[in-house]
Amino acid sequence: WDARSMLYHAGLNALFVANYGFSPWNCGDNEPSLVRVRLSDDGSRVTAVDGCTSMPVDPGNGGVPVGLTFGPGGQVLVTIDTNSN
């Protein structure tokens, strides 16, 4: 499992984790994916993992998530590198 980027969302008390390749949540075959990781109230423990979403931007060639940030309206914006060089 290759976690590439994480973003903390204070309102949800959760981390969004962008990863590539095989993941424990089996979101997609060698495709970038985004997972929501819920945290305990004090932030010291993971309480649940849900919301796994596959992002097939370049089918067959994958793509690697290289950054996460908040976009308009609090949506999560994922930057994915599809350059094979």
Q: What is the mean pLDDT of residues 63-73?
A: 86
Cα dihedral across residues 54, 59, 65, 67: positive or negative: negative
- Sequence-distant (6+) residues with CB within 8 A of 41 are 13
pLDDT reading at 61 higher than 90: no
pLDDT reading at 67 higher than 90: no
C-beta separation of 68 from 55 below 8 A: no
pLDDT reading at 63 higher than 90: no
pLDDT reading at 22 higher than 70: no
pLDDT reading at 28 higher than 90: no
Question: Taking the CB of residue 79, how many other CB atoms lie within 10 A of it?
Answer: 13
What Rg, from alpha-carbon coordinates, does the chain have?
Answer: 13
Is-above-0.85 flag for pTM? Answer: no
Burial class (CB in 10 A: 0-12, 13-18, 19+), 43: exposed
